[in-house]
Amino acid sequence: MLTVHDLIRLAAERKASDIFIKAGAPPNWRLHGRIAAVDDNPMLSPEDTRRMAYSVMSHEQIMQFEHYPELDLAIEIPDVTRVRVNIHKQRNSVGMVLRLVPLKIYTLDMLGMAPAVGEMTKNRSGLVLVTGPTGSGKSTTLAAMINKVNNEQAKNIITVEDPIEFVHPDIKSIISQREVGIDTESFSDALKYVVRQNPDIILIGEIRDVETVSVALQAAETGHLVFGTLHTSSASETLDRLMHLFPPHEKGLLCLRLANTLRGILSQKLLPRQDAAGRVAAVEIMVVTPTVSKLIEEGRAGNIYTAIQEGGFWGMQTMNQCLARYYKAGIITEDDAMHAAGNLTELRQMIRRPGA
């Protein structure tokens, strides 16, 4: 039977993004966005999955897992890949999901990102959010943005992650990476003291609650460039989510703070390519122009979509505009484009309209 490390090496060779291990099923992986069984492997028993999970945990992590059956950790197989691991219980047996993280950090050009994304890294202060569902490539995009800064600017960069995925060497910048549970107790603890570490740029692995949003905004207001992620599917949904985190009587002040500090929102989804192996990121790009800033200040998140539609001069694009372009270029299928569309009727009209 394959070990966890054997599975990881094989997955890296086949360019799978995730491995799924559960009792009562053979190992499965996600290849180019689709789940399939790993070759001809046998069904795993509860004893098998428990042994596999415990093989990647330290003694302290095993004790922690037995006390509280949810655990995130990261491991590395030298010269192969880093792996983000979630270990959990399901139906009273141990399960695992492993996300493969390339050792190589991609550039924004390699990811096919528009020039407007690179421009966001040149801000001296403010808040930049990368959003999307789980598995949409947010961490990869953020790593590429940090990599661009690292290659072009001399900055002090501090990241707070759970767990650390991409490891950044110092090039022109100094980069300190802190892992929740190892280097700090929590996101809130790390962010409470981060400004005392004199950063130019702060990366927050995940913005989860009011406290994290408040610290991110405060850091952005005091001259830092802050990058963060949210599990939202569009710029307007992101703004709605942020506004609903706070009590109604604070909405006006929050809108004003966001209007002054927000620099851009990227909302992305990964789709299988039909022109080559692998997947491509479809991205909605919102740049905070004076018009967008005014809409945010007035709390008119519902009008943001139209501003993005008409903001091509500033490098903006809606998800549907990106999907239509990919479909017409033969990069993705119509079915996949429709599956990812925010507005199906609009996208149907766009891909059937000559010259659209």
Three-state secondary-structure class, residue 176? strand
Residue 354 or residue 181, greater confidence: 181
Q: Cβ contacts of residue 340 below 8 Å, gap of 6+?
A: 269, 271, 282, 319, 323
pLDDT for 354: 66
d(CA 80, CA 103): 7
Would you place residue 348 in the very low, low, confident or very high pLDDT band (cuts 50, 70, 90)? very high
Would you place residue 55 in the very low, low, confident or very high pLDDT band (cuts 50, 70, 90)? very high
Q: Which has the closest alpha carbon to 188: 214, 170, 163?
A: 214
Residue 280 or residue 276, greater confidence: 280
Residue 356 has pLDDT above 70, yes or no: no
Residue 34 has pLDDT above 70, yes or no: yes
pLDDT for 218: 94
Rounded to 5°, the CA angle 232-236-240 comes to 75
Q: Which has the closest alpha carbon to 221: 253, 190, 247, 249?
A: 253
Q: Write out pLDDT tens, residues 69-89.
A: 999 999 999 999 999 999 999
* pTM check: above 0.85: yes
Residue 353 has pLDDT above 80, yes or no: no
pLDDT for 48: 96
d(CA 309, CA 291): 13
Residue 312 has pLDDT above 60, yes or no: yes
Mean pLDDT of the residues in the chain: 94
pLDDT for 96: 97
pLDDT for 182: 86
Considering the four listed CATH numbers 3.20.20.10, 3.40.50.720, 3.30.460.10, 3.30.450.90, the one that applies to the domain covering 4-101 is: 3.30.450.90
Mean pLDDT of 144-164: 96
**CA dist 321 to 100, 111, 193, 350, Å?**
30, 18, 41, 8
Residue 184 has pLDDT above 60, yes or no: yes
Beta pairing partners, 327: none
What number does CATH give the domain 115-317?
Answer: 3.40.50.300
Length of the chain as a residue count:
356
User: What are the residue boundaries of the structural domains of the chain, listed by start?
Assistant: 4-101, 115-317
